[in-house]
Amino acid sequence: MNHFEEYIAEWYDTIPEGGGTAASPWKIEWNDVPYKERDTRPLSRLKVLGAMKEVLFNGTPTQRAAVYIHIPFCRLSCTYCSFFKKKGDNKAQHEYVELLLKELESLSDKPYVKKSKISAVFFGGGTPGILSAGDMADILCAIKKTFLLAEDAEVTMESSLSDMTEEKMDVAIAGGVTRFSFGIQSFNSQVRNTVGRPYSREEVLKQLSIYSKKKADIIIDLIYGLPYETEETMRQDIRDAAACGIAGLDLYKLQLLPDSPLGKSFAAAGKCLIESEVQVFFQVAEEELNAIGAENISCSHWRMKQSERNLYNTIASGSDDLFAIGMACGGRIGGVSFMKPIPDAMYHSVVKMGMYCPMAAEKEGKYHAFFSALQSAGNRGIIDLSALEEMFGLPVAKLLMPLFQTWEVWGLLELIENQWRMTSPGRYWYRTMTRLILRAADYMCFGLPENTKKADWHGMINMK
């Protein structure tokens, strides 16, 4: 017996069968704890710049890659949000864009960048749609000068409806944007007002219907579990989305972030999300999505048009390169994961010196690609144990089959053509299930977890 098999046997002695206690597919008490990849190695600040130089001049890129452009400005203050964002006037936004252009220029002559093939570009934030049409055009032009984009590259720009105009959209499309993502959250006027979103349901429907006729796919985000949401408003949200002619939508469970205005108001009132009520919203949303023929291409994303690929999120959840451009955003290239500078002065300084230098970085470990593949499979809700074994040469089936067979009995998974696929309850629980899968893989590789201190990146992320 090798050490993998020994650790697998030990793992199943440490958790309840299935990782929790199930009364039904929807009523499960999980033994859930946070997961952090264990064999990453934080780099000292003195070594970060050297590590980046080594990658950019001597590294070998992954077969495909993505670019993330961070725009930290927001005009709106959404009550559920506590992400890093800035209030800024047109002058401040333009000055920031000038820094982005300089940063892109500094990368354009690097061998690693020249050899990288970009499959997806994502403008996130913040609210990228807040930028002027001229600034949008300048950034898009600079991206094409700096990076080699695939012919079918997906280029996405996030925005609120109130920050986007037809003029901006036309300029962005002319510059190469193929996809716009709008944070609608709900069509219902009362729900929207509660979370700080302008525009009534009628105005949202009108604007989305106009934008859907443009030569770009329109994607929207919906959140279930918001204040004043009901089963009927959730059903109507899906019907409204379909009526607008959009290409796809993300369906997210409300996360009560403690530092957000909504999180604070819940805490002050002694309230919390009631799991059974939130689950009903997810169930009825899926019923409506099935009724309109939408296809779930991940556990949180559905498409109404075949042109919709959700490619950036697929790449971001895997191990392919992710170039991060801008301040306060994370990326990874050449086996080094990193966080870009958060303080204004630090970001301004490194860009003006012509350096691509994160504020913190860590070297990815031996099994990073394996863990990333598991994460990506969990996000999709389709897990092929044989393919994973063949790809990584690890006893994946021996590790996960007992867990999956229990989840099959619980109604969370079903085996279809040698692939384990998440059911509707499985898609609801997919984050918890994926963490358990990753914890199992971690134990198989390293044995009993030890308490080790990891680099603190202040919880900053650059994914939706």
In tens, the pLDDT along 309-353 reads 999 999 999 999 999 999 999 999 999 999 999 999 999 999 999
Q: Sorting pLDDT into bands at 50, 70 and 90, what band is 463?
A: very low
Residue in 211, 196, 216 with CA at minimum distance from that of residue 241:
211
pLDDT digits (tens, 9 = 90+) for 163-193: 999 999 999 999 999 999 999 999 999 999 9
Residue 437 buriedness (CB in 10 A; 0-12 / 13-18 / 19+): buried
State residue 271's pLDDT score.
84
Distance in angstroms (rounded) separating the CA atoms of residues 141 and 169: 15
Q: What percent of the chain has pLDDT over 70?
A: 96
As a whole number, mean pLDDT of residues 284-295 equals: 98
State residue 449's pLDDT score.
81
pLDDT digits (tens, 9 = 90+) for 367-380: 999 999 999 999 99
Which of 65-79, 105-119, 442-456 bottoms out in mean pLDDT, i.e. has the lowest?
442-456
pLDDT digits (tens, 9 = 90+) for 113-155: 999 999 999 999 999 999 999 999 999 999 999 999 999 999 9
State residue 457's pLDDT score.
37
pLDDT of 460 over the 50 cut: no
Write down the mean pLDDT value for the chain.
94
Q: 264 or 299: whose pLDDT is higher? A: 299
Range 284-301 burial, b when 16+ CB lie within 10 A, else e: bbbebbeeeebebbbbbb
On whether the CB atoms of residues 105 and 142 are closer than 8 A, the answer is yes
As a whole number, mean pLDDT of residues 13-38 equals: 94
**CATH T-level fold of 45-315:** TIM Barrel (3.20.20)
Distance in angstroms (rounded) separating the CA atoms of residues 57 and 22: 52
State residue 376's pLDDT score.
97
Q: Tokens 């099935």 map to which residue?
A: 290
Distance in angstroms (rounded) separating the CA atoms of residues 179 and 418: 34
Distance in angstroms (rounded) separating the CA atoms of residues 446 and 451: 13
pLDDT digits (tens, 9 = 90+) for 391-429: 999 999 999 999 999 999 999 999 999 999 999 999 999
Q: Sorting pLDDT into bands at 50, 70 and 90, what band is 269?
A: confident
- Residue ranges, comma separated, of all CATH 3.20.20.70 domains in the chain are 45-315
Q: Sorting pLDDT into bands at 50, 70 and 90, what band is 358?
A: very high
State residue 84's pLDDT score.
59
As a whole number, mean pLDDT of residues 272-276 equals: 91
State residue 149's pLDDT score.
99
pLDDT of 456 over the 50 cut: no
Cβ neighbors of 409 (< 8 A, separation 6 or more) are none
Measured CA angle at 376 (ends 375, 380), to 5 deg:
120
Sign of CA dihedral 94, 99, 103, 108: positive
Backbone dihedral region for residue 328 (phi beyond 0: left; psi -120 to 50: alpha; all else: beta): left
Sign of CA dihedral 241, 242, 246, 252: positive
Distance in angstroms (rounded) separating the CA atoms of residues 181 and 122: 10
pLDDT digits (tens, 9 = 90+) for 219-233: 999 999 999 999 999
Distance of alpha carbon 415 from the chain centroid: 27
Q: Sorting pLDDT into bands at 50, 70 and 90, what band is 272?
A: confident
